[in-house]
Homo-oligomer: A and B are copies of this chain.
């Protein structure tokens, strides 16, 4: 699943605003990008069809919400883009890390270690 520029902007907006209708999204994104309201509606609809947004009717407008948070989307995108290259039982992030570790500075290594520890704690309950 490929995400276009506008789709990404809309997702980010909805992560920050929680809920919005097309008009609201348009009023904000229309300031940086010259989009018609229809363009925003199409984009919202495409994201909805991709399963990334949910929507409910409120009055005569759809209210859109994100259906996945940023972390879940990142995980999904990563899986999509790498799945053809990873073996069963292997995780793409770990494979990638082995090639990218040299580019991380000490602080980033620390950070990563912290994240691992944090995850371990979570599992111990």
Contacts and interface: CB of A to CB of B under 8 A. Distances in A.
Nearest to A15: B85
Contacts of A38: none
How many copies of the chain does the oligomer comprise? 2
Interface string A71-110: 1111101101110111000011111111111111010110
Size band of the interface chain A makes with B: 35 or more
A81, A84, A122 pick with most chain B CB within 10 angstroms:
A81
A71 B91 contact: no
Interface of A: 2, 8, 12, 69-75, 77-78, 80-82, 84-86, 91-104, 106, 108-109, 111-113, 115-116, 118-120, 122-123
29 contacts: A8-B85, A69-B99, A71-B98, A73-B99, A74-B82, A74-B95, A75-B96, A75-B97, A75-B103, A77-B81, A78-B82, A78-B92, A80-B81, A81-B81, A93-B96, A93-B100, A93-B112, A94-B104, A94-B111, A97-B112, A101-B116, A101-B118, A102-B122, A104-B119, A106-B123, A109-B120, A112-B116, A113-B113, A116-B116
